[in-house]
Amino acid sequence: MEGVGEIFKTGFNVTRLGEGDRVILSGEPIGSWSSLALFEANDVIKVPKRVPIEIAAGLVINTVTAHRMLTDFVELGPGTNVIQNGANSACGQNIIQLCKLWGLVSINIVRNRPNVEELKKQLIDLGANYVYTEEEFNALDEKDFFFTRPKLALNCVGGPLLTRMLKFMAPGATVVTYGGMSYKPITAPTTSFIFDDLTFKGFWLKRWNEDYRNKDKKESMMNELFELSAKGFLHAPAHKFVPFEKFKEALENTLSPKGLVGHKCILDFREMHAEQEKEWAKEREIRKAKEKEEIKRKGAIAKADLEKVMKERERQKTEEKDKGKK
């Protein structure tokens, strides 16, 4: 439910943020799918205008998830191999890009689909080192596996595909699960734990956000991601803006059991209130004009008061001088 919004008005005492600033939610992103909503200043993070809107809209879930999963579980030196399934998901595309940026080798598994060569090219263009369909990966011979064995597996699929992936992992590697797209459980042979020394863990962004909300660790990560996005090193996943009126189309795309649409829909609330926004803009003008008037009026009163005070002081001085002469 992530999204990016623009500040229409700030409350008293809010100095860190101003009208027209772009913000994303810092905690659980509930309420970001609205045309107008009220938040506490501490609940939002300011996004530099240089960050493209389509990246800002998805940053707080997919990019953060990718960043944390590549950072928090395994010490990954440059050249280390990372394997992931569901590699063309929004999160998967972020994983590919961060791997590329950080000098990691990404091995990516996607589901087969009619236009799979196009998808492969798209992921390679993003920075993927290897892309396999599930069938191609299943046909790989463990003995002939020509990569350094991955120290980290990122899993959003589960089921037999993950079980197969385990055979290729380095001893002592970690498997991080963040989704279950296959609707099948995670199954591993006993030997994966005893002899291969694998560790299975999970990642849940909600828990991470609760633990790290308003903490330096989160702030420095967000600044890093803003910087990378602003400079064009991080790209939004394949996407399409859909006006909110057509939200059904967007939801159908997302909920389709096949999920092979190939792009993410970004709900666009901008047009929705275009008329009302004009009114708001007018109101804002009137309000600003009134505020100006008020400031002028207060200024005039203050000036009059000041003149009064100065006159009184002058009078007192003259009086004292007269006393001195006597």
Contacts with a copy of itself by CB under 8 A lie at: 158, 163, 176-180, 185-204, 207
Read off the amino acid at residue 55.
I
For the CB of residue 190, give the shortest distance to a copy of itself in the complex, in Å. Answer: 3
Give whichever of 112 and 187 is closer to a copy of itself, judged by the CB atom. Answer: 187
For the CB of residue 156, give the shortest distance to a copy of itself in the complex, in Å. Answer: 9
Separation of alpha carbons 57 and 226, rounded Å: 12
For the CB of residue 191, give the shortest distance to a copy of itself in the complex, in Å. Answer: 8
Give whichever of 196 and 227 is closer to a copy of itself, judged by the CB atom. Answer: 196
For the CB of residue 112, give the shortest distance to a copy of itself in the complex, in Å. Answer: 22
Structure tokens at 102: 């950080």
Separation of alpha carbons 254 and 261, rounded Å: 8
Torsions phi, psi for 106 (to 5 deg)? -105, 130
Give whichever of 13 and 190 is closer to a copy of itself, judged by the CB atom. Answer: 190
Distance of CA 130 to the CA centre of its chain: 26
Separation of alpha carbons 139 and 308, rounded Å: 93
Diameter of the chain by CA atoms? 116
For the CB of residue 216, give the shortest distance to a copy of itself in the complex, in Å. Answer: 23
Give whichever of 127 and 179 is closer to a copy of itself, judged by the CB atom. Answer: 179
109 touches 133 (CB < 8 A): yes
Give whichever of 79 and 185 is closer to a copy of itself, judged by the CB atom. Answer: 185
For the CB of residue 73, give the shortest distance to a copy of itself in the complex, in Å. Answer: 10
Helix (H) or strand (E) holding 46: strand 44-47
Give whichever of 81 and 192 is closer to a copy of itself, judged by the CB atom. Answer: 192
Read off the amino acid at residue 30.
I
81 touches 153 (CB < 8 A): no
